[in-house]
Structure 1
Amino acid sequence: MQTTIASANPIHSARDRILDAAMELFATRGFQAVGLRDLASYLGLHAGSLYHHIDNKQALLFELIEFGLLDLLQETKRRMKNARSPCERLNLFIQAFVKFNFNEKHKLTLITSEFANLNKEQQTRIIQLKNRYSSLLSTVIAYERDEKETFNGDNCPLTNTAVIILFGQSQWYNPETTELQLTATLTNIFTCMIGNYSSN
């Protein structure tokens, strides 16, 4: 198995293979449980050779979480770009997350479970990205409520609650739930939340 991993897809660079393997191991075994020797062994490499491609294990985790959030942010913005109504923006926002939830499970696991293993500077950067992501939803909520002034992602209680539901559901939802079912469920929840919040 090690030989297969190390030699698979020669177009895929050595660093890319390290990133892919680290993401899988950190997500399935936990960051603290995986050492660089484990990662090197999984790839069929000597542990020392990893330092030609990475600074350290924590920097590797930060890079994976940062890339994961950037992927989610960019894909969400791309999907919402041509929306013609607040309702469509909300639907596309949810669809983008659900697609990420199903296609990028390891990235989502790292984002939701391994934040505490980053240093303060790294955490600050991740919080900035999370706020940028939350702000996309805050804008949708502001349009739904017909408000001229939008909230920032970090000071809108409704946005914070909605984002917690999005990321939290990945910890408990039924594995047999389909993409369409999860999209419909989240859309109904968000629509009711915004409607009730707007009426208060």
Structure 2
Amino acid sequence: MARKQGSHAGTTGPKVRDAALRLFARHGFAAVSMRQIAAEVGVQAGALYLYTPDKQTLLFELMTDHLRDLLEDWQPPGGGPVAELEDFARHHIRYHLDRPDLVFIAYMELRNLTPENFAAVERLRGAYEARLEAVLRSGVADGKFDVPDVKLATMGLIAMLTGVTTWFKDGGRLSRVDVEDIYWGMVRKAVSA
């Protein structure tokens, strides 16, 4: 019997994803086996295949679900490019600080995706980047921003904002709000807003 007594599809499936997320973030995708994931969940290795066809699919779904949720969670609020840029910066920091393992995997495990899965993830990343790029282009067109290369500024700002997840710790010297405020100041100066 593949399913452990007391396991349920509605709870075990999310546990499989959560265990894979933790293990991939801690040890790296290549170092984690399906047996390790099963042990973390408390099911037999064969039972995992009731929830996912393979480890690659788990990685791909973690990444794409993260990016789809991110795209759904931030929509330009209106109010002009300065207000939208501030909202983007603050949202990006808040959203990513709550999901450091997903952020790590989304950037560090791209190399482990199949070419088809990589292309799908890149399309979603591109859609998110395009939102910031549109805000910056609007600000340049309105004379609010002075950005010599909008595409480069887009990539630089996203990298800067995402980098917070590598060092921020709750309970440290700065609160989340402090970090948002300081980063918004740096973003504003970077685009001369």
1:186 aligns to what? 183
Equivalent position SS for 1:84: coil
Give a deviation string over 1:20-61, Cα, whole Å, max 9, x none: 221122112221221110000111110011111111101110
Q: Which structure 1 residue ranges, 5 or more long, are not aligned?
A: 1-5, 149-154
CA shift in 2, pair 1:51/1:11, >3 Å: closer
The equivalent of 2:20 in structure 1 is 22
Q: Which residue in 2 is equivalent to 1:91?
A: 86
Contact 2:82 2:139 in 1 (8 A): yes
Cα distance in 2 between the residues matched to 1:189 and 1:125: 32
TM-score of the two chains, using structure 2 as the length reference: 0.84
Amino acid at match of 1:42: E
Shift of 1:84: 1.3
Distance 2:6 2:88 in 1: 38
Aligned identity (percent) is 23
User: What is the number of equivalent residue pairs in this alignment?
Assistant: 180
Higher alpha-carbon deviation: 95-104 or 162-171: 162-171
Alignment of 1:8-157 (within 5 A): 12-77=10-75, 80=76, 82-146=77-141, 156-157=151-152
Q: Which amino acid aligns with 1:72?
A: L
Letter in 2 for 1:184: D
**Structure 2: gaps of 5 or more residues:** 144-149
RMSD across aligned positions (CA): 2.3
- For the 8 Å contact 1:112–1:167, the answer to whether it is kept is no
CA contact (8 A) 1:72 1:96 kept: no
Name the counterpart of 2:156. Answer: 161
